Amino acid sequence: MKSARLLMLSVAASSFAAAALADDLCGYAAPTALAEGAQADPATIQNGVDGINIAFLPMGTEFNYHVALGEGIKQVADSRDDVDMFLLSPYSGSDLAGQMGMLQDVTARADVDAIVLISFDEAALAPLVKEAVAAGKAVIIVNSDIPNFPTPVHGVVGVNQRAVNNALAEWAREQAKGEPRTVGILDGEPGYLATERAGGFTDGIDGSNWTVKARINGGWSVEKGNTAAMDLMQANPDVQVIYAANDYMALGASLAAKALGREDLTILGYDGDTGALEDIAAGGMDATSDTSPVIMGRKAACFAIDLIEGKTPGGYVNTPTRIVSAANAIEVLQKPDDLFPKPSRAY
């Protein structure tokens, strides 16, 4: 039976057998070394209480993507009698102070063995991460590929965001069959993720006949992305492609394009959010780089467990990605166990 120490924020229940999960969930790519000085010593990890308790600290549950990562962690925890997890997060992704307070809380808890953390402000969180490592917690940064977090961590799990967005740009150019395009970019709030994602896309069009006409901060959300895209398109009616650094902003751009009757616009996102996948299938957005957050969460949980059990030295774990467009969106939506939230209907 699960221990009474579990403090769980309920997320969707797993719909498949624990035995199958144990077989399928815990394979991940061999870790590669972090940058010099960025790797925390696994010997610092303490596990003084029976079982393993994983604290998942995203920087805001307003983003379904973060809850999807938590669902992946939960699926792994549900597959083992000796592993618990809980999700602790402010609602707003801009509530950095709230996340910092929560990180201090879980660091002080004797029953927390691992902290899986999403960080949009590495510099602000670094002193608290240092305290967590010193307290004996296994600390894993997820949804990132940052090779040199400002203070040593035990692991990083995510994708090479610059390379993935470079590949999306190249794919989009192939679809245009050599035709020139004028591009608008919706950046997220300033930080490592925004820099790497948009930077990868601009790398992918550098030297081509695609040019960036305008870029604007879309604030990471559907609402802010919608407003930003509306402003961008009205100020720059010749923009033919909008690249957004996450799917929420891309969905906002899709709504703006519909409101303005811009059926000629190509809209590209990043993440693999269920809503974006359904929008692609319905003919709204054109494509996204699917980083499979549920699968990423599973791998982060397995990596945390292996760190605690002394089965890995730590490092960076790369997780799978794919470009999803109208050609394969239905196929992806037909695997609801790998998605959260679940699709709105059966495909």
Question: What is the pLDDT tens value at each position of the chain, 347 positions in all?
Answer: 333 222 332 222 222 223 333 346 788 999 999 999 999 999 999 987 789 999 999 989 988 999 999 999 999 999 999 999 999 999 988 899 999 999 999 999 999 999 999 987 899 999 999 999 999 999 999 999 988 899 999 999 999 999 999 999 999 999 999 999 999 999 998 888 899 999 999 999 999 999 999 999 999 999 999 999 999 999 999 999 999 999 999 999 999 999 999 999 999 999 999 999 999 999 999 999 999 999 999 999 999 999 999 999 999 999 999 999 999 999 999 999 999 999 999 99
25 and 147, same domain (yes or no)? yes
Query: Does any domain span residue 151?
Result: yes
Task: Indicate whether 232 and 274 sit together in one domain.
Answer: yes
Residue 6, domain member (yes or no): no
Going 279 to 285 to 287 to 291, the CA torsion angle's sign is: negative
In this structure, what token pair is assigned to residue 191? 């930080």
Query: 61 and 125: one domain?
Result: yes
pTM score: 0.88
Half-sphere exposure of 218 (CA within 13 A, CB side): 35
191 in the same domain as 143 = no
Helix (H) or strand (E) holding 157: strand 155-158
Same domain assignment for residues 133 and 103: yes
Predicted local confidence at residue 47, as pLDDT: 85
Q: Is 3 a domain residue?
A: no
- pLDDT value of position 50: 83
CATH classification of the domain holding 266: 3.40.50.2300
Q: Does a structural domain hold residue 87?
A: yes
Residue 328 is assigned to a structural domain of this protein: no
Same domain? For 314 and 276 the reply is no
User: Considering the domain boundaries, does residue 118 fall inside one?
Assistant: yes
Single-letter amino acid, residue 237: P
Same domain (yes/no): 71, 193: no
Q: Please identify, among 290, 308, 328, the residue that sits at the C-terminal boundary of a domain.
A: 290
Asked if 142 and 199 sit in the same domain, the reply is no
Q: Is there a single domain that holds both residue 124 and residue 245?
A: no
Whether residue 98 is found in the same domain as residue 123: yes
Could you tell me if 117 and 142 are in contact, meaning their C-beta atoms sit under 8 angstroms apart? yes
The H or E element that residue 208 is part of is none
Question: Is position 10 within any domain?
Answer: no
- Give me the domain span that covers residue 165: 161-290
Query: Does 179 lie in the same domain as 55?
Result: no
Q: Which of 231, 311, 297 is nearest to 76 (CA)?
A: 297
Phi and psi angles of residue 168, each rounded to the nearest 5 degrees, phi first? -65, -40
Let me know if residue 343 belongs to a domain: no
Q: How many domains does the chain have?
A: 2
Distance spanning both ends of the chain, measured CA to CA: 36
| Same structural domain, 180 and 277 | yes
User: Beta 322-325 vs 287-290: how paired, if at all?
Assistant: antiparallel
